Every structure is written in C-alpha cells, then in structure tokens.
Amino acid sequence: ETGVTQSPTHLIKTRGQQVTLRCSSQSGHNTVSWYQQALGQGPQFIFQYYREEENGRGNFPPRFSGLQFPNYSSELNVNALELDDSALYLCASSLGSGASQETQYFGPGTRLLVL
Amino acid sequence: GNSVTQMEGPVTLSEEAFLTINCTYTATGYPSLFWYVQYPGEGLQLLLKATKADDKGSNKGFEATYRKETTSFHLEKGSVQVSDSAVYFCALSDLSTDKLIFGTGTRLQVFP
C-alpha cells in the first residue's frame, strides 16, 4: 500500500509568482484535503476535494485553488504569491467525504518560501 | 465554532518520566478526536484516535480517552523515550465537512 506523496519537497518563489503543488493520495482513497501550516502553528484547512469536486473550503482567498484528477491525485495552485504564503503545505487523503469521519493520512508536505 | 486548545510547550522531561499533554475542545455534537505527531522536518503522523465518548485510543504506549463531560482528550504516556521528542497536535474532525481543526501543537523534548 502506497502512502501519500507530495512534490516538490521544497520550493522558493518570489512575490507575485504562481505555484503548483502536487499530491498523490493513498491507494484506495478518494478524498484529498489541503492544509497550510505556518511556522510554529497548527495546520489550517484550505479545502477538500471529493471525486473531483470541491467539497468544503476554509478561510482562504480565491487565489488558492485546486484540482482533483480521475485517479484522485490533486493539485494546489496559489496565484499572486505573498510573503505570508510561506509555509508547509500538507496534503491528506481519506476514504469517503462529508460526515464520514474517516481518518486523514498526511503526506510529508511541501515547504514553500516566498521572497 | 469548533476549536481545540492545547497546553503550551515546550514540555521538557527526562527519559522514563510520565507525560501528560492537555487538550480540550469546543464542538457541536460529538466529533472524532485525534492526536497527530510531527517529527522535525516531517509531515503529520496519526498517533491515535477516538470516535465516541469514553473511547480510549492507544498506540506505541500513548493513550488518550474521549471525555465528553470535560470536553477533553488528554494525551498520556507512562514512560517517555528520547525518540518521543516531537510536536504533538490534538485535532477534531468537523462533523459536517470532515475538515480537521488543530490545536497549536505542543513541543515535547525528552533528555537522556
């Protein structure tokens, strides 16, 4: 059974640029959630995708967007990068959606630095 | 809204000491509760979970009991090891969306 993988592991961008982060879900999982973890903080929910549709969104602006593909892998896109976007971005996969209360399994994260 | 509050760290202990990390929550209904652990430079690993009142989650010597009456899910371990040094996050799963709501994390440092 393959766990959750993310790419790239590290990334450096400048303000105003755009970035795409990728996530492959654990085998058999159909739901992907994205979280932002600022330094010294707990992860904050960005959004969730279930069967290629957005299924819940946290308090993040529209320049944070995502996709889920038929194989349930996912992308997080951030436009017009700001310095405060510097963080560890975590992807988590699970089976089911909504009120399923299934456990989410996390990938190792992508560390983004915006200069 | 739903929230999780954890004791501030760092928690500094000697090897073989008893560990308690306090966690309380505010939520509508009875969400599932989790403890995740984050080792330096890594993502989050699920440590244990409990899905209903009075459930006890346990793993690798760690335990936590879902206490509805005190809205708490405190993490305990009888004898910590140096390898337990990490940041521990308490979290709840929102009932309607499954999004996880995390506490701010508690850093544990164990010295030989």
Predicted pLDDT at B89: 97
Predicted pLDDT at A98: 57
Q: Determine the residue of chain B that is closest to A54 in CA distance.
A: B97
* Mean pLDDT of the region A16-38: 94
B49 or A103, greater pLDDT: B49
**Chain A residues within 8 A of B96 when measuring between CB atoms:** 98-99
Q: What percent of chain A has pLDDT over 70?
A: 94
∠ CA A50-A34-B63 to the nearest 5 degrees? 100
Q: Is the pLDDT of residue A34 over 70?
A: yes
**Chain B residues within 8 A of A104 when measuring between CB atoms:** 46, 93, 98, 100
B43 touches chain A (CB under 8 A): yes
Q: Indicate the range of A22-26, A86-90, A95-99 predicted with least confidence.
A: A95-99
Residue B40's pLDDT band (cuts 50, 70, 90): confident
Residue A100's pLDDT band (cuts 50, 70, 90): low
Predicted pLDDT at A1: 54
Interface of A with B (CB under 8 A): 6, 31, 33, 35, 40-45, 48, 55-56, 58, 88, 90, 92, 94, 96-109
CA distance A97 to chain B (A): 7
Q: Is the pLDDT of residue B78 over 70?
A: yes
Which among B75, B85, B86, B26 is positioned nearest to B50, based on CA atoms?
A: B75
Predicted pLDDT at B1: 83
Contact yes or no for A100 and B31 at CB 8 A: no
Q: Measure the CA–CA gap between A72 and A26, rounded to whole angstroms.
A: 9
Q: Measure the CA–CA gap between B64 and B20, rounded to whole angstroms.
A: 10
Contact yes or no for A99 and B103 at CB 8 A: no
Q: Is the pLDDT of residue B90 over 60?
A: yes
Which among B76, B102, B71 is positioned nearest to B6, based on CA atoms?
A: B102
Supply A89's token pair. Answer: 């971005």
Predicted pLDDT at A92: 94
A99 or B24, greater pLDDT: B24
Predicted pLDDT at A55: 87
Q: Is the pLDDT of residue A70 over 70?
A: yes
Q: Do A102 and A25 meet the contact criterion of CB atoms below 8 Å apart?
A: no
Q: What percent of chain B has pLDDT over 90?
A: 80
Residue A85's pLDDT band (cuts 50, 70, 90): very high
Contact yes or no for A56 and B43 at CB 8 A: no
Predicted pLDDT at A101: 67
**Chain B residues within 8 A of A103 when measuring between CB atoms:** 32, 34, 46, 49
CA atoms within 13 A on the CB side of A70: 0
Q: Measure the CA–CA gap between A38 and B7, rounded to whole angstroms.
A: 19
